[in-house]
Structure 1
Amino acid sequence: MKLVSWNVQWGRDASGVVDLARTVREARRLADFDILCLQEVTRGFHALPGGPSDDQFAELAALLPGFTVIEAIGADLGVDPGADLSTASRTGPTPRRQFGNALATRLPVAQIFRHLLPWPADPAAPSMQRVALEAVIDVSGVTSSGGALRVLVTHLEFYSEHQRLAQIDALRQLQQEAAAHAAHPAPAENAEGPFARTARPVSAIVCGDFNSAFDSAAHARMLEPLAGSPAFIDAWTTLHPGATPPPTAGIYDTEQWSDGPLACDFVFVTEDLRARLKRCEIDGATQASDHQPIVLELD
């Protein structure tokens, strides 16, 4: 099973040109992926630099035939105050500006969860609502957890460490919650209704842009032991023992990253998947975003 995780900055490359189709082509060049986890996908944010399309989630679905494309919105805002609504009001609902994550997969999807992450007040820093998108995916033959695996894609706060640490704690609590459901599932009320059986697999991949340096408190906290659940391990450092990961942001876009390159994108997996890790690589060549993609392969 192959997974690509990438902050694509709405398809905007290091020179400022937006082309989401190119982003998908670059991801396909890296791997014949089964799961594609993207951060910074937009809808209604045409005013962002480079002018993304009005609905990038729909654009992804068109670019990936045969894939299920799932969205999770973090920031969900009203229309730009300066927009002309005279036509929109006559033709349909008032448009919204939405910013979040996407997961595309060609594997069967059993369950989907959209977790709004904590957003504690921090008046010293700009911030936005963040989200973690979780999909329970059938990966029969890949894991030992009943043929299913939980994949979460997220994007943590950039400016506020206080908020990032709260969001890390929430991701860890979600893992403990899933482990508890796996150990003590509630019975289904019936086969047709929404009160389905609550069992979820313990095994999980959590990937995305953590906006936290490799040696940061947030990265260290993600790896701390978890009561009632396997702990998380960093997939890249597990497969490259003793090495420091190369930068994942600011290599080519030196304007946005004026302080220099930074390793801040990670793939964490639960400890029970350690033996199945085959490959985890950070591509340093592509300039299709201000971030570099990560390729994970499970044997």
Structure 2
Amino acid sequence: MRLISWNVQWGRDASGDVDLPRTLGEAKRIADFDVLCLQEITRGFGVLPGGPSSDQFAELAAALPGFTVIEAIGADLPPLAPSAPRRQFGNAIATRLPVAQVFRHALPWPADPAAPSMQRVALEAVLQAPGGSVRVVTTHLEFYSLEQRLAQVDALRAFHLEAAAHAARPAPAENATGPFAATARPVSAIVCGDFNSEFDSEAYRRFIAPLDDNPHHAPSFVDAWTESHPGKTPPMTAGVYDTKQWSSGPMACDFVFVTEDLRPRLRRCEIDSATHASDHQPVLLELD
């Protein structure tokens, strides 16, 4: 199974030009992916730099025949004109694997008057992958506020513990067709995205720390890149080519984490440092 996680900044490249199909072409160059996890996809946000299309989620679906495109909106704001669509900003998962349950988790947003911020979301899809079902979660944590970022990390860990409880104590479906479906979920998980947290920062360390209050023995998370490159520090993933937006310098903040039980299936994890198609670099994960 090949997965790419990428903050594509609504298809805006390092020079400021927006072309989402070009971005998808770069993703296809990197790998024949089964799962594409994207952050910063928009609808109704044509006012953003470069002028993205009116509905990038529809644009993804049209450009990826044979894939299921799942969306999750974080910021959802009023239109700028009466006839315009709402301004929506969030994440997407595109996959050609069968999709079971989908969950959209609103992340905590504690008040922090010192920092600009927006509502954030984690999008989770249970995929029937080769080798067994797996939960794929893609997210984009707050940039300006450490307080909010840490709260969001804690929430991601809590969602994982909840999933482990469903895996250990599943409830049956009420019937075959209603919304009260069976609650069983796989404990194995991939959590990826733009964490807006530097490698080995407080938020990074908190996410991979052993899980407390864990009666159902949920496996903790490991960084797939450091597992694939023992003893090495990951390359920068943001601000490598777009030095205007990242005037303070590049940082490594885009990660793919996997639960410890997936370690034996980890084939490789690489960061593509060549593409200029976003202000972030994509991360590729391959599982046997």
Q: Quickly name the TM-score band, shorter chain normalised.
A: over 0.9
**Structure 1 residue corresponding to 2:252, chosen from 260, 263, 269:** 263
In structure 1, the gaps of 5 or more residues are 89-93
Q: Residue 91 of structure 2 contacts residue 139 of structure 2 at CA under 8 Å; is this kept in 1?
A: yes
Q: Which amino acid aligns with 1:77?
A: L
Whether 1:194 aligns to 2:153 is no
Match for residue 29 of structure 1?
29
Whether 1:126 aligns to 2:111 is no
Give deviations 1:49-93, integer Å, cap 9, x for gaps. 00000000000001100000000000000012xx3x3xx2xxxxx
Match for residue 232 of structure 2?
243
Offset, 1:275: 0.8
Offset, 1:191: 1.1
* Cα distance in 2 for residues equivalent to 1:7 and 1:196: 33
Offset, 1:192: 1.3
Whether 1:209 aligns to 2:187 is no
**Structure 1 residue corresponding to 2:89, chosen from 90, 99, 115:** 99
Offset, 1:294: 0.3
* Cα distance in 2 for residues equivalent to 1:162 and 1:291: 23
Offset, 1:190: 1.1
* Cα distance in 2 for residues equivalent to 1:14 and 1:187: 49
Offset, 1:187: 1.5
Aligned partner of residue 40 in structure 1, secondary structure: strand
Give TM-score, length-normalised by structure 1.
0.94
Whether 1:16 aligns to 2:33 is no
Give TM-score, length-normalised by structure 2.
0.98
Offset, 1:134: 0.2
Please identify, of 211-220 and 186-195, the stretch whose mean Cα deviation from structure 2 is larger.
186-195
Q: Which amino acid aligns with 1:70?
A: I
Match for residue 91 of structure 1?
none
Amino-acid identity (%)? 76
**Structure 2 residue corresponding to 1:285, chosen from 268, 274, 280:** 274
How many aligned residue pairs are there?
284
Give deviations 1:224-280, integer Å, cap 9, x for gaps. 112231000000001101000000000100011011110000000000000110010
1:1-299 → structure 2 map (5 Å cutoff): 1-80=1-80, 83=81, 85=82, 88=83, 95-140=85-130, 142=131, 147-226=132-211, 227=214, 228-299=217-288
Aligned partner of residue 100 in structure 1, secondary structure: strand
Q: Which amino acid aligns with 2:3?
A: L
Q: Residue 43 of structure 2 contacts residue 85 of structure 2 at CA under 8 Å; is this kept in 1?
A: no
Offset, 1:188: 1.3
Give deviations 1:272-295, integer Å, cap 9, x for gaps. 000110010000000000000000
Q: Which amino acid aligns with 1:112?
A: V
Aligned partner of residue 246 in structure 1, secondary structure: coil
Q: Which amino acid aligns with 2:166?
A: H
* Cα distance in 2 for residues equivalent to 1:159 and 1:257: 13
Q: Which amino acid aligns with 1:5?
A: S
* Cα distance in 2 for residues equivalent to 1:154 and 1:49: 22
Aligned partner of residue 27 in structure 1, secondary structure: helix
* Cα distance in 2 for residues equivalent to 1:7 and 1:109: 22
Name segments (4+ residues, structure 1) moved above 6 Å.
none
